Amino acid sequence: MTERLPPAPGVAGRVVDARLSLLDRQVLDIDGEPVTAVDDLELAGLQAGERLDERRPPTITALISGPILTTRLFGGRTPPSRLHRIAWSQVAEVGTVLKLRVKGDTLEVTWFERWLSRNVVGRIPGGRHDPE
């Protein structure tokens, strides 16, 4: 005799498997330019140590990105001040990449690339324009 599974809970919105569809995915801005990759997620409706209630699943409030490679290699935790949040409301599409509703230049996560371009690459002769 086969056992019947209980029906799936009714959920408003789209159910997404975070490990498969969100984590380590490339994030593109509204113009299709690469912005960052998703390192972690910020969730609402779930507290640390709390058991998951299938009737009220957690919701994503933000994508988290930042310099976490060193902590993956050497252990420890990245200080919260070094992590950058992209509000979930700014995500337009979830697919093989995540597409945003805004330009990447308006996000805090791209500050290092802008600084590097202005202060390092821009000082190299020919670094301020595209190659011919």
The pLDDT value recorded for residue 123 is 74
Q: Name the more confident of 121 and 80.
A: 80
User: Is the pLDDT reported for residue 113 higher than 60?
Assistant: yes
Domains of the chain in start order, with CATH, are 18-123 (2.30.30.240)
Q: 52-70: per-residue pLDDT in tens?
A: 776 777 889 999 988 777 7
pLDDT-derived band at 12, boundaries 50, 70, 90: low
Q: Please give the average per-residue pLDDT across 16-26, as a whole number.
A: 88
Q: Please give the average per-residue pLDDT across 96-106, as a whole number.
A: 92
Range with top average pLDDT, 9-13, 105-109, 113-117: 105-109
The full 3-state SS of the chain, as one line of letters, equals: CCCCCCCCCCCCCCCCCHHHHCCCCEEECCCCCEEEECCEEEEECCCCCCCCCCCCCCEEEEEEECCCHHHHHHCCCCCHHHCEEEEHHHEEEECCCEEECCCHHHCHHHHHHHHHHHHCHHHCCCCCCCCC
